Chains A and B, each alone.
Chain A
Amino acid sequence: DAGVIQSPRHEVTEMGQEVTLRCKPISGHDYLFWYRQTMMRGLELLIYFNNNVPIDDSGMPEDRFSAKMPNASFSTLKIQPSEPRDSAVYFCASSLVPRDSRTTNEKLFFGSGTQLSVL
């Protein structure tokens, strides 16, 4: 299994530009998560999907952030317009929840992340 695949690995852009981050979860996983990691705030959950449906986007910092999951094998996180304070490492993770579990608290599989620098 290839694991969770994120692209690009690095993104350098100028303030005001649109940024799109991409994620391919592990095949068969029914949960997908977007996290942001910074030194100051640690690992923050931005949004997560269950069976391609957004469940909780309360962690999305502003309307400039949006995420989609058009199918089970692809998700995007978009920032428009980008700002220097958005500079961080963005991780995608996926999980498979047992049928008899009502909530997801099983282990997560993380991608390698996208290092975003907004100048």
Chain B
Amino acid sequence: SQQGEEDPQALSIQEGENATMNCSYKTSINNLQWYRQNSGRGLVHLILIRSNEREKHSGRLRVTLDTSKKSSSLLITASRAADTASYFCATAANTYSGAGSYQLTFGKGTKLSVIP
């Protein structure tokens, strides 16, 4: 089955710097989503980009999608200590597997540390 794989596994930057995380996947997708997880908490949805979109913005977040390379990137600009968290990409398959089927697959995440 397809799976988003984040790169790098861990990233440490200084406050104010930009953070870039990448996600690669294997097969055709309907959409790709990014989630954030603070330590000891559940995942929180950040942004969804559909297969016919190339770039999307939300506040300090910028997501790009390159379907020809089967990859996506999440850019956090002007990072803050509060951005310290794990970031996951989730890919939604583009195949129909039956009524009610679930098709989101999560990667193992990038652990981001923003040093004040």
Contacts and interface: CB of A to CB of B under 8 A. Distances in A.
Interface of A: 4, 31, 33, 42-43, 45, 48, 50, 55-56, 91, 93, 102-113, 115
A33 B43 CA distance: 13
A104 B102 contact: yes
Interface residues of B, number: 27
A108 B43 contact: yes
Contacts of A93: 42-43
Nearest to B108: A42
A106 to B, nearest CB: 8
B42 A113 contact: yes
Most buried by B among A48, A108, A112: A108
Contacts of B35: 108
A76 to B, nearest CB: 18
- A interface secondary structure, majority: strand
B43 A42 contact: no
Contacts of A55: 100-102
Which 9 interchain pairs have the tightest Cβ spacing? A105-B92, A110-B42, A42-B108, A50-B100, A107-B45, A43-B106, A110-B43, A103-B101, A105-B103
Given A42-B106, A42-B108, A43-B88, A103 B45 contact: no
B52 to A, nearest CB: 14
A11 to B, nearest CB: 15
Contacts of A104: 100-104
- B interface secondary structure, majority: strand
B108 A105 contact: no
Contact of B96 (A31, A103, A113): A103
A77 to B, nearest CB: 15
Contacts of B58: none
Contacts of A109: 45
Given A43-B108, A91-B43, A113-B40, 18 more contacts: A31-B102, A43-B43, A43-B106, A48-B102, A50-B100, A55-B102, A102-B99, A103-B97, A103-B103, A104-B101, A104-B102, A107-B33, A107-B48, A108-B45, A110-B44, A112-B40, A113-B42, A115-B40
A46 to B, nearest CB: 12
